[in-house]
Amino acid sequence: MPPPAGIDFTAYEKLRLGIHYEGPEAQPQMRLFLRNFDASYSKTGDSTSLKVNEINFDPTQHQQPLEMLMSHFTVASWWSSSRQVPIEKSGVEFNNISTIEISTGGNVVAGKHLIVIDSLEFEGKMLTASQLRLILLGAWMLAVVLYLLIDLLPLRRGGILAKRRRLSLKKVNDSQHTQNKTFEKLAYHDPLTDVLNRNGLAQELSNLSDRLDTRFFPLSLIFFDVDHFKEINDQHGHSAGDQVLREIASVIKNHIQRDDLLARWGGEEFLLICPHTQRHEAVLIANRLREIVFDHEWPLGLHVTGSFGVAEVAPDEDFTVGIERADKAMYRAKQNGRNRVEEEAE
């Protein structure tokens, strides 16, 4: 039986949702799910295996229609924790959306709830930024080739011709090298915070494993999350939320070891990988970072804190399993009051 043929939404940048709510909740919490099918983790006929890309919102707090950036979607933690998903597939994916769902939040007041969807529109560019760069690069290189042909044909063969050709080719190669570096950074770094994204983290781990094998163990993971981040977005706007994410990434990056790897895991979640670090040492590092975040002077007079979870990965253990344990420890930190560090369960 062929897999579901969904819709590719990767070229879209935002969506507009016209929604009307009537019910007993003064500030209802809604969730919009874009569920993606991928053969590496989904099974045909099993709707629960579709990846849950979600965004939470209050339809009464914003002007209609609501505008949502596709970059603000995250993979639902409750779905990730119940699935063995390869690390390269653990981020949000919109390339094969098979189901779009809207539901109420987790804690729903009993009563009659009426949700009316007036419209759902997706907006994007005909060309993505990377596609446009490739087209411009191709056009530029074609112009260079044409220029070389026109410029070199009248010249006599000899030393001058050879020298010009070498210089021209060097400029083309240097330019192509610079463009390749730019494309590589776009592919492996989060554009908002300029730290590694999940693809970049997977690549760095692969390089580290190939180079050092088991000699970078003991290795510990620190999973941390910005506390009450949704309230920052709701009260001060997404631009303030983006500023907090950029600044917390910069603060953490300035206070870690050179060999440590920092990546934005999704939304307001970050993952720090610490080679040559035992779990008790990682707990001390996490507490130091928590205090630095707590004492930092944040924009708009905000008081920002973070919840941290720590786990140690064994040399023969799958990184995905270790990340899940660090993630669960972070959620215990949130449940126990936030602005604290919790270790993995023994």
Query: What CATH fold (topology level) applies to the domain 198-343?
Result: Alpha-Beta Plaits (3.30.70)
The pLDDT, as a whole number, for residue 284 is: 97
The pLDDT, as a whole number, for residue 131 is: 67
Q: What is the CA radius of gyration of the chain?
A: 24
pLDDT band at 231 (very low <50, low <70, confident <90, very high): very high
- Active-site residue 268, yes or no? yes
Query: pLDDT tens across 332-341, in order?
Result: 999 999 999 9
The pLDDT, as a whole number, for residue 154 is: 65
Question: What is the spatial order of strands in the sheet that 66-69 belongs to?
Answer: 66-69, 12-22, 114-124
pTM summary value:
0.54
In 3D, which of 92, 123, 106, 13 has the Cα closest to residue 267? 92
What pairing do the DSSP bridges indicate for beta strands 12-22 and 30-36?
unpaired
Identity of the highest mean pLDDT range in 64-78, 95-109, 156-170, 190-204: 190-204
In 3D, which of 282, 288, 264 has the Cα closest to residue 219? 282
- Sequence spans of domains, the chain: 12-124, 129-188, 198-343
Based on the number of CB atoms within 10 Å of its own CB, is 198 exposed (0-12), middle (13-18) or buried (19 or more)? buried
Of 313 and 131, the one with more pLDDT: 313
Query: pLDDT tens across 10-60, in order?
Result: 888 889 999 888 888 888 888 899 999 988 888 888 888 898 999 988 888
54, 268, 312, 324: the catalytic one is 268
- Average pLDDT estimate for 217-223: 94
